[in-house]
Structure 1
Amino acid sequence: MRFNVRGENIEVTPALREYAEKKIAKLERYFTESPNANVHVNLKVYQDKKTKVEVTIPLPNLVLRAEEVNTDMYAGIDLITDKLERQIRKHKTKINRKSREIGRKELFVTNGNVSKEDSIETDNDIEIVRMKRFDLKPMDSEEAVLQMNLLGHSFYVYTDAETNSTNIVYRRKDGRYGLIETV
């Protein structure tokens, strides 16, 4: 893994860089061979002394991504590593099974450094408990945001009146709104 550690409103010290690289490099034990990936680590400090750690690891057919807000940068890096490990364990069985079905080499370790309880997880963890159908009404993004707020949801799917394509508006963690346009 090649690391790209950068800071926003913070100078990345050699000790901080080394700590982040050391912790995230431990994830390599989950892979059959060391992945040829560029690991992007983004460290931010806000005015209220909160820190945010974002890690993105693009892999073939999978992108591992996690972010954590904490008052201590080092604790945030520890929590990010835990989140990424959970993601890897969650996807390990499913991805290895699909790889075997189509005859590709497995991406994750099947045995070895991973504990027994980690390999017990199956695809049964994902269960759809409710299904809804609705008509997409043509509207603009502002009306979609109003509808979303009226319903008390965190996202809303609609048909854009101008482009006639399906779009999604959503409420971001910072309280503002985002728009996803389909192509």
Structure 2
Amino acid sequence: MNVHVTFRHLASSQSLREHVIEKLDKFKKYLHDPIDVNVVLSVEKIRQIAEINLHAKDFQAHAIEESPDMYSSIDLVINKMEQQLRKHKDKIKDHKNPQKVFTAPEPAL
């Protein structure tokens, strides 16, 4: 997983970067392809904004959240992205193994 963390209007912090990378490890169980993840952490007055852009082989997702605390913004955006990934994985799983209904042919008289 390639992770790029960008800080806008915010001093670069190793603890925030480690928190993001630790939380992004959840995504490995949903996507096995090489994944590019761009995380943007920004501050606008009192709003702490976390944004994630995820690019995989056949899937792209985007999520953005804001709150008064940066760590809670990161947790919220990770949860939002995890919901999108879970929905995508369920679609793939259901599509590959559809439930087939077998009906026996009626005997000809």
Q: Tell me the distance in 2 between the aligned counterparts of 1:61 and 1:29.
A: 16
2:107 matched residue in structure 1: none
1:15 matched residue in structure 2: 15
- Please tell me whether residue 71 in structure 1 is matched to residue 68 in structure 2: yes
- Asked if the contact 2:39–2:53 (Cα under 8 Å) also holds between the matched residues in 1, the reply is yes
With the length of structure 2 as denominator, give the TM-score of the two structures.
0.80
RMSD: 1.5
Greater mean alpha carbon deviation, residues 83-92 or residues 37-46: 83-92
Map residues 20-99 of structure 1 onto 2, 5 A cutoff: 20-31=20-31, 33=32, 35-47=33-45, 49-98=46-95
With the length of structure 1 as denominator, give the TM-score of the two structures.
0.50
* % same residue: 31
Q: Please, which runs of 5 or more residues in structure 1 have no aligned partner?
A: 102-183
Q: Tell me the distance in 1 between the aligned counterparts of 2:64 and 2:79.
A: 11
Give the C-alpha shift of residue 96 in structure 1. Answer: 3.1
Q: Tell me the distance in 1 between the aligned counterparts of 2:37 and 2:47.
A: 23
- Asked if the contact 2:66–2:73 (Cα under 8 Å) also holds between the matched residues in 1, the reply is yes
3-state DSSP of counterpart to 1:61: coil
- Following superposition, which runs of at least 4 residues in structure 1 exceed 3 angstroms of deviation? none
Q: Tell me the distance in 1 between the aligned counterparts of 2:88 and 2:6.
A: 28
Q: Please, which runs of 5 or more residues in structure 2 have no aligned partner?
A: 98-109
Q: Residues 48-90 of structure 1: CA distance to partner in whole angstroms, max 9, x if unpaired?
A: x111100011011211211001110000111111111111121
Q: Residues 120-149 of structure 1: CA distance to partner in whole angstroms, max 9, x if unpaired?
A: xxxxxxxxxxxxxxxxxxxxxxxxxxxxxx
- Asked if the contact 2:8–2:42 (Cα under 8 Å) also holds between the matched residues in 1, the reply is yes
Give the C-alpha shift of residue 97 in structure 1. Answer: 3.8
Q: Tell me the distance in 2 between the aligned counterparts of 1:51 and 1:17.
A: 15
Residue-pair matches, total: 97
Q: Tell me the distance in 2 between the aligned counterparts of 1:20 and 1:29.
A: 16
Q: Residues 137-176 of structure 1: CA distance to partner in whole angstroms, max 9, x if unpaired?
A: xxxxxxxxxxxxxxxxxxxxxxxxxxxxxxxxxxxxxxxx
- Asked if the contact 2:34–2:57 (Cα under 8 Å) also holds between the matched residues in 1, the reply is no
Q: Tell me the distance in 2 between the aligned counterparts of 1:37 and 1:92.
A: 15
Q: Tell me the distance in 2 between the aligned counterparts of 1:21 and 1:12.
A: 14
Q: Tell me the distance in 1 between the aligned counterparts of 2:71 and 2:90.
A: 30
